[in-house]
Structure 1
């Protein structure tokens, strides 16, 4: 455990067209344990509704995950800790879903709201990712880029069935139609996968406001070349805005290092700093 180093950074931006930011991002790096996470939610549902749903989802996961590395957790075996991480994610997603549904029931103006969600958690060399909708997670290392999530969307289903190509999906006028979201039904079905990290890597999470403009090849090129690596979040948001910025844009990145000297240009305060309000609400021009 001592050899593992984690650093994390995140940013959300309103974009160039929308009047409100319906994305929400939360991230955290533990100052004492090899434990970090990123949560991104992309809300939908009209004025203030999407922002409310995404905030509920991101805050709920942030709150539940932050409580995890307590005495009981630390006293468990690695296998037990991994099971506890998975259970915590599942429980937090269920709690968020119920809270969104309850808020919809008591506030008619939010009746159409819901949100996507992607969360990535690293404990030691264990990585677990949960997602619902089309917000994504990627992993980059010396072998290249791997997409860790498969969109819950209509165009993804059409691609899986061989009806359209990835390029056609990118250009489709229904590319934003998702098939799963939080706050839609009593039962929510996240996809959860986990991996063991064997070498230094970058974990990258984003909302579809970014992947609308930047394909996997572009994402891979930036993650491979832009340093300090944590500042990729600003580069990605700038690029998406320059290409149109029609949607809100969120990006979070985590450095996992088990080799001395990797990502050495990282600012020390980025390892543990919680996001400030300005990190999650500002317009691009104000950054």
Structure 2
């Protein structure tokens, strides 16, 4: 397994309110991407607190679940605990009132991955030449698409595209989603903030992942492409490739 991570402020914003991490424990790997929002620098606080909370809980866990159903429960519980920390911090600090963050995370424990998320940060899977979005955006425009009020094409340019229906830290009670998927050697999993997914078409992301290059080079290219296409938002990508042979210069778990 080869991992790569990069986060970038982009070309317009002054601060990076994205946060990400890749954490390992024996043969298991937890990857997390968070995209913060709300107030002056409060988004930065929310996203970093969420990732830090996930890392802390990961480090404190004596064992990692081995069954997909158990992993789904475990990840949801961790997101709920992270939510409590961010929500309580926002209540206690006036400058952080209303802050929140998206979270998408992936837990690998063998030949499957469990993906959990809240918000519109995404997880994609490239498997046997098929490129699939594993997460469903918790956003207003996605709800409008699901009800048939607007098309997917209209959603891409909708003026309220960034309005979320669910986020971490904004409410005391939240409802993250979690699903598990089988994996095999050669599969690639991409976690990203909407600063990437909003600026690069799916077919372009697929092409870049299929390139004969190391995961870190692919991540760097994705970030560069998003910036070339405007870079109006912060951009974060985590790429994990299931491979028996790590390329030189890459992190191998």
Q: TM bucket by the smaller chain? A: over 0.9
Choose which of 147, 154, 158 in structure 1 pairs with 2:144: 158
Aligned residue pairs total: 253
Rounded to whole Å, the distance in 2 between the matches of 1:170 and 1:89 is 30
Whether 1:86 aligns to 2:68 is: no
Determine if contact 1:39/1:58 at 8 Å carries over to the other structure: yes
- RMSD of aligned C-alpha atoms? 1.7
Whether 1:213 aligns to 2:206 is: no
Q: How does 1:46-195 map to 2 (within 5 A)?
A: 46-68=39-61, 70=62, 72-73=63-64, 78-79=66-67, 82-195=68-181
Rounded to whole Å, the distance in 1 between the matches of 2:180 and 2:190 is 15
Whether 1:12 aligns to 2:4 is: no
Determine if contact 1:8/1:36 at 8 Å carries over to the other structure: no
Rounded to whole Å, the distance in 1 between the matches of 2:202 and 2:182 is 22
Rate the CA distance shift 1:67–1:230 in 2: closer, same or farther, 3 A: farther
The normalised TM-score by structure 1 is 0.83
Bigger fraction of residues in helix: 1
Rounded to whole Å, the distance in 2 between the matches of 1:265 and 1:29 is 19
Determine if contact 1:8/1:29 at 8 Å carries over to the other structure: no
Report SS of the residue matched to 1:116. strand
Choose which of 6, 20, 23 in structure 2 pairs with 1:28: 23
Residue segments in structure 1 that go unaligned for 5+ positions in a row: 1-5, 273-287
The normalised TM-score by structure 2 is 0.94
Determine if contact 1:41/1:135 at 8 Å carries over to the other structure: yes
Residue in 2 aligned with 1:196?
182
Q: Which runs of 4+ in 1 moved over 2 A?
A: 65-68, 82-88, 264-268
Rounded to whole Å, the distance in 1 between the matches of 2:212 and 2:161 is 29
Residue in 2 aligned with 1:284?
none
Of residues 123-132 and 166-175 in structure 1, the stretch that sits farther from structure 2 once superposed is 166-175
